[in-house]
Structure 1
């Protein structure tokens, strides 16, 4: 018995893996990833929270400044991210944590 083109297409659609979001979709994670992507010119979909800003993404002082400005543009209640606070090993996850803690009223 021969399948019609429509049946074959339906079967292909159901057997192909569905694309999944690479990161959780909470607003802080999305905002930080967008800011890091814009400051670094890396596509957001290739960024992971464990990446180091300086060591993995080659952030320099200008990129850190742009990241800080983008974070404040996204969340005006944030203070500017202090370049002295950010170390070469600082990860995207560290920045996400700092934003969450600061927004919650803690001290970073």
Structure 2
């Protein structure tokens, strides 16, 4: 029984350490705890959040200096979310309209 508890402990710790942090709700310490977010960036996020909550990833990338698509992908992989959503890449920034299929030539 003791061996099972010892084996289970690291797994529980790993799950707890990968808990997602929402950019609109996370404290400065929680944001700073993510890989890729240092004290300066967490302060920029908090300052931008004072103007209003972030609507989505493009809103975050527009309002916080230093967060572009590549950085957003890394932060999302580390557990950062915006309104519970992970970064979706370029498709999330601007949905493209589907082109109508071309009619065959007679």
Normalised by the size of structure 1, how large is the TM-score? 0.29
Using structure 2 for the length normalisation, give the TM-score: 0.29
